[in-house]
Chains A and B, each alone.
Chain A
Amino acid sequence: MRPAGPFRVVGRSVRRLDAIDKVTGRARYLTDLSVPGMLHATLLRSPHAHARIRSIDVASARATPGVHAVVSSGDFGWCDPYHGPAFRDRPLLAIEVARYEGEPVAAVLAEDPEAGARALERIEVDYEPLPAVTTLDEALAPGAPLVHSREPQAGHFADLSSLRPVPGTNVCHQFHWERGRGAAGFDDADLTVEDRYTFPRVQHYSMEPHAALAAWDAEGGLVVWASTQNPYSVRVELARMFGVPLGRIRVIVPLLGGGFGGKTYAKLEPITSALARLAGRPVRLAISAEEAFRTVRRCDARVRVRLGLRRDGRIWAAECVADFDVGAYADIGPRIVQKGIYTATGPYRIPHVALHSQAVYTNTTPGGAFRGFGVPQLAWAFESLLDDAARRLDRDPVELRRQNLLAHGEEFAPGDTPIDGKFEESLGRAAEAIRWTQAAAADRGRGVAMMMKASVAPTVSEAIVRLHADGSVTVLASTVEMGQGARTVLAQIAAEVLAVPIERVSVAGPDTAITPYDQTTSSSRSTTMMGRAVQEAAEDVRQQLLRIAAGRIDAPLAELTLHDGHVRGRGAQLAYPDLLVERFGMGGGELIGRGIVAPGRSAAPLGGSTPFWEMAVGAATVRVDEETGAVTIDEYVSVADVGQRINPQQCEGQDEGAVMQGLGHTLLEEMVYDGGQLLNPNLVDYRVPRASDLPARLRCLFVENGDGAGPFGAKGVGEGSLIPVSPAVGNALARLTGVRFRELPLTPERVWRALRARRREGPA
């Protein structure tokens, strides 16, 4: 959508709608909510990575004062106990087998958390430990013990309607895609390079752990307050599990204290709802931060990349093979392995491509969506190898990339959206900002990396805009506010279209009884998809206003404009309240506008055409203390091609956060397992970035050419700038030290050890 510009509200860093509430402590998150009669749920979790549950003795626990009930899987015969967006493989509570350390095995319902904790200690479970597979190697070994032995049922998403598990193995999905002659393209390559990389298990660590609160009404309807990124996805799961019509399930979402993908798809809502049904009372389940480590994580991966180039620097062929460890339950893993590998080859023109990925079960914390959605794992590998290829060809890595970039409007894959950005502009700005062409100081290294990511498709977003009798506006949209500022952006869009001050626009919180369908708040899609729905709904109201005004002053629509809460034309100026009175003949009533964005399926390889390509560049200047291996990032620049920033300050804040979160898995974060035991499920032993990890200079820049499909030419933002961080830093280190790193995080010890090996062996 070509923007008309200049804009009144769009493109301005207006204050967040929730800012005052958040700085005054008035903002309400799930654990700030309670309802009368509420019981507290506590979960007993398996200490074993894999074990048969021989028996559960709850008698003593049940007798604990303050305990209402103690529940295990045998109490759920009245519902379908399985859920999952790809495979319905995850039970409410473990059924006969616990599949990972931390899997919920029993639940206590108590009047207060203390009684619950006391009762939990009195539950006696007789486990028979079973052989566990806790690494990709173990899980893929011939004859490996199976994490799941039953045929899982497919979940509810169109793009996963063709799930491809490999029977008798721990592979629950495979994805293959080829372009051109695939691997045969290497026959014509002058230089072929190949390498292997791994990406670690890391955790979202949202400051707010997961929580849910469920209550059934006397007529069999269900209300769930959930700290979730997709209320509608939760709703459809609950409807199916409990046999309740969609319209009788209400999912309400307060503010989230962070999500990052960890709160997508049903997590605690099914068990909380089931417990509430059993108890006949509302139930709140609020897990601890330590339990969050045992609820969801990023899928670790090992990636093999092969690149074939022509002597003149054209990338000719690429092959990427990736194994993703999705943990004990598939969650959205199958889509991750597709999405991650789909753009593994980055924003480059490569005629011959062969991609293979698979999702592998292990007896560990389930892997799920996490900012970047499989692309960080692949970009770490591909962008590292591309730099190595540049070195082998004696080419500048920025120049080599520039030479191969896809052009604006070019096809990436048949059936999918053409490239909607000018990648060379982003690369140029990053290179300039990091002073790429100037010699770096002897003790500094610079590195660059790029990435491209598709947004989930097909999806549906619907919105309603209401213009009230006093000219104020309410936007109804189910986009979840988890810190990214989406609700403010939607308000800005409505305010822009309807020419009202932003202060006069409210955005209702997600509530499936009130705000219409939105597929998900994830995949950087909300500004583009829900933004368009809101824009369309506001345009609908605008048209209604114009028609009323046209009738009143007898002017053609084309001559009328909206300005500051009035319709103007033919010398007249009609305030919206007056127009409503005109329409309704009284002081009440409201105009309602609708927007529905549903592009539907397409011939694109992933089932739908991406609404936009998320594209970002990262550039880093690093130093290393060779004696300790400690890496310091002196300077980091990110460039994101976003079309049009609706709220510049919020975009910048999102990318600063994305870069720092990327620094987490690049330098600091790693879930450490000993077999199936997670050794560091807490912040003392799991190291998330602090303020002191900020690069001395961090700049997040944006390319805005108005070329997005979103409102006013906008595209998505929020994931892109996380993805290039690890390869940019890896490339900088390689240029500085001559050592290529293939594992993350680049902790001091890991770097130190590699530098020592280099000293012993000599440069590669």
Chain B
Amino acid sequence: MPATPTPSPSSLSIRVNGRRVDLEVPTHALLLDVLRDRLDLKGAKRSCDMQVCGACTVLVDGAPVSACTYLAVEADGRDVVTVEGLGGPEALHPLQEAFVDHGAVQCGFCTSGMLLSAKALLDERAAPSEAEIVHHLRGNLCRCTGYRKIVDAILACAGGSGSAA
């Protein structure tokens, strides 16, 4: 039987929520685990673990990726945005405010992913239609809200200041 390869660590330099982070991680480490366990950014969640549900969504160079199925080493030299980087209690991002105001949050487990997916959409297209929002959210599942208020919250930001970086 072939020997199990010794994990070879990789050195990474990632800008996480605007701040540069230098790390050594095993090559096979997934971005989700590095964010949650090494950087204590717990907002991204593990749910389906196969890129369907979106609970692990983070932005890498502005594009949404499934952190559960993304090697941490791929983020080397890139910008990663997690929900913690979207805005904090003192200064909420318009999407975060809209989610709160529209009652688009119930259990909250899908929320980080929903927010970051929505941000990626609004960064690309300031005034998406409801159909475009629904298309964009194909990969973001919610079991609590039934989606109505989530879509309404994103619509409320569409065409407004929701596209602010």
A and B touch in the complex (CB under 8 A): yes
Q: How far is the CB of B157 from chain A (nearest CB, A)?
A: 13
Closest 4 CB pairs between A and B? A25-B43, A483-B107, A257-B109, A22-B108
Contact A13 B50 (CB under 8 A): no
30 A-B pairs within 8 Å (CB atoms) are namely A16-B105, A20-B100, A24-B83, A24-B88, A25-B83, A25-B84, A25-B112, A26-B84, A27-B108, A207-B109, A207-B142, A207-B144, A208-B47, A208-B107, A257-B47, A257-B108, A259-B107, A289-B53, A650-B103, A653-B104, A653-B145, A657-B106, A657-B143, A659-B146, A660-B147, A661-B143, A683-B141, A690-B137, A691-B133, A692-B135
Query: Is B42 interfacial (CB 8 A cutoff)?
Result: yes
| A483-B106 contact in complex given A24-B92, A682-B50, A691-B137, C-beta closer than 8 Å | yes
CB distance from A263 to the nearest CB of B (A): 11
CB-based contact A692/B134 at 8 Å: yes
A661 proximity list for chain B (CB < 8 A): 143, 146
Closest-by-CB residue of B relative to A20 is B89
Interface residue B149 (Cβ < 8 Å from any Cβ of A)? yes
A residues 21-61 near B (Cβ < 8 Å) are: 21-29, 31-32
A23-B111 CB under 8 A given contacts A13-B103, A652-B103, A691-B134? yes
Chain A contacts with B in 715-764, Cβ cutoff 8 A: none
List the A residue with the shortest CB-CB distance to B148.
A656
B145 close to A657 (CB less than 8 A):
yes
Contact B48 A23 (CB under 8 A): no
* A441: interface (CB < 8 Å): no
Pair B137/A289 contact, Cβ less than 8 Å: no
Contact: B92 with A23, CB < 8 Å? Answer: yes
Residues of chain B lying within 8 A (CB to CB) of residue A25: 41-44, 82-84, 112
Task: Tell me the complex Cα distance, A615–B151, Å.
Answer: 28
The residue in chain A whose Cβ has the minimal distance to the Cβ of B103 is: A649
Minimum Cβ distance to chain B for residue A147 (Å): 30
* Secondary structure of the A contact surface, majority rule: loop
Q: Closest CB-CB distance, B66 to chain A, in whole Å?
A: 12
Whether A19 contacts B100 by the Cβ 8 Å rule is yes
Q: Closest CB-CB distance, B51 to chain A, in whole Å?
A: 9
- B143 close to A23 (CB less than 8 A): no
Count chain B CB atoms within 10 A of each CB in A32, A207, A683 and give the residue with the most: A207
Q: Which of B93-108 touch A at CB < 8 Å? A: 96, 99-101, 103-108
Supposing A22-B111, A691-B134 touch, asked if A684 and B50 sit within 8 A by C-beta, the answer is yes
CB of B31 closer than 8 Å to a CB of A:
no
Closest B-chain residue to A657, C-beta based? B146
The minimal Cβ–Cβ distance linking B39 to chain A, given in whole angstroms, is: 12
Contacts of A19 in B (CB 8 A): 99-100, 105
Q: Is A397 an interface residue (CB 8 A)?
A: no
Which residues, 5 to 24 on A, are CB-close (under 8 Å) to B?
A: 13, 15-16, 18-24
Name the interface residues of B110-165: CB closer than 8 Å to any CB of A: 110-112, 115, 133-135, 137-138, 140-151
Say whether B52 faces chain A, with CB atoms less than 8 Å apart: yes
Are B143 and A288 interface neighbours, CB within 8 A?
Answer: no
Residue B55 lies at the interface, judged by CB distance under 8 Å to chain A? yes
Instruction: Knowing A257-B108, A484-B106, say if A692 contacts B138 (CB, 8 Å).
Output: yes
Q: Are A483 and B108 in contact (CB under 8 A)?
A: yes
Interface size class of B (residues with CB under 8 A): 35 or more
Bound form: Cα–Cα A683–B52 in Å: 7
Q: Within residues 664 to 699 of chain A, which ones have a CB less than 8 A from any CB in chain B?
A: 682-684, 688-692, 694, 698
CA gap between A546 and B134 in the complex, in Å: 54
A29 touches B111 (CB 8 A): no
* Residue in B87, B134, B138, B146 whose beta carbon sits within 8 Å of that of A660 in the complex: B146
Least Cβ distance of A503 to chain B in Å?
13
Q: Which residues of B contact A (CB under 8 A)?
A: 36, 41-50, 52-53, 55, 82-84, 86-89, 92, 96, 99-101, 103-112, 115, 133-135, 137-138, 140-151
- Min C-beta distance of B71 to chain A, whole Å: 15
Contacts of B110 in A (CB 8 A): 207
Inter-chain CA distance A25–B112, complex, in Å, is 6
Q: Which of A20, A256, A650 contacts B92 (CB 8 A)?
A: A20
10 more contacts with CB within 8 A, not counting A23-B99, A690-B137, are A16-B105, A24-B84, A26-B89, A27-B108, A204-B143, A208-B47, A657-B106, A660-B146, A683-B53, A689-B146
**CB closest residue in chain B, given A112:** B37
Chain B min CB distance to A545 (Å): 32
Taking a contact as CB atoms under 8 Å apart, the answer to whether A258 and B144 are in contact is yes
Would you give the shortest CB distance from A665 to chain B, in whole angstroms?
Answer: 13
Contacts of B144 in A (CB 8 A): 207, 258, 483, 653, 657
A329 at the interface (CB under 8 A from B): no
Complex Cα spacing A18 to B106, Å: 9
Task: Say whether A474 faces chain B, with CB atoms less than 8 Å apart.
Answer: no
The verdict on A255 contacting chain B, using a C-beta distance below 8 Å, is yes
**Interface status of A192 (Cβ within 8 A of chain B):** no
User: Is A482 in contact with chain B by the CB < 8 A criterion?
Assistant: yes
User: Which residues from chain A contact B99 at a C-beta distance below 8 Å?
Assistant: 19, 23
Report yes or no: A209 in contact with B47, Cβ–Cβ below 8 A: yes
Nearest A residue to B153 by beta-carbon distance? A23
Is A656 a contact partner of B143 (Cβ separation < 8 A)?
no
The answer for the CA separation of A425 and B101 in the assembled complex, in Å, is 30
Known: A25-B43, A29-B45, A29-B109. A694 touches B146 (CB 8 A): yes
Partner of A23, one of B36, B41, B105, B141: B105
The CA of A483 and the CA of B110, in the complex, are separated in Å by 11
A-chain residues with CB within 8 Å of residue B42 when the two chains form the complex = 25, 28, 32
Q: How far is the CA of A209 from the CA of B87 in the complex (A)?
A: 27
Q: Tell me, rounded to whole Å, the shortest Cβ–Cβ distance linking A580 to chain B.
A: 30
Q: Is A260 an interface residue (CB 8 A)?
A: yes
Which residues of A (240-260) have their CB < 8 Å from a CB of B? 255-260
Residues from chain B with Cβ under 8 Å of A484 in the complex? 106
Does the CB pair B143–A688 fall under 8 Å?
yes
Contacts of A24 in B (CB 8 A): 43, 83-84, 86-89, 92, 96
Cα A29 to Cα B112 in complex, Å, equals: 13
A736 to B106, CA, bound (A): 36
Instruction: Write out the residue numbers on chain A whose beta carbons fall within 8 Å of the beta carbon of B52.
Output: 683-684
A483 CA to B108 CA, complexed, in Å? 7
Which residues from A are CB-within-8-Å of B88?
Answer: 24
Cα of A209 to Cα of B99 in the assembled complex, Å? 24
Q: Which of A31, A208, A258, A698 contacts B146 (CB 8 A)?
A: A698
Q: Which residues of A contact B96 (CB under 8 A)?
A: 23-24
CB-contacts of A86-114 with B (<8 A): none
For A653, the chain B residues whose CB sits under 8 A away are 103-104, 106, 144-146, 149
Q: Are B135 and A207 in contact (CB under 8 A)?
A: no
Which residue from B47, B55, B138 sits with its C-beta under 8 Å from A691?
Answer: B138
A201-216 near B? 1/0 per residue, CB < 8 Å = 0001111110000000
- Cα–Cα distance between A458 and B138 once the two chains are bound (Å): 43
CA distance A176 to B71 in the complex (A): 57
Instruction: Take A16-B105, A25-B112, A208-B107 as given contacts and tell me if A289 and B48 are in contact as well, using a CB distance cutoff of 8 Å.
Output: yes
A683 close to B143 (CB less than 8 A) = no
**A contact residues around B143 at 8 Å (CB):** 204-207, 258, 260, 657, 661, 688
- What is the CA–CA distance of A112 and B141 in the complex, to the nearest angstrom? 29
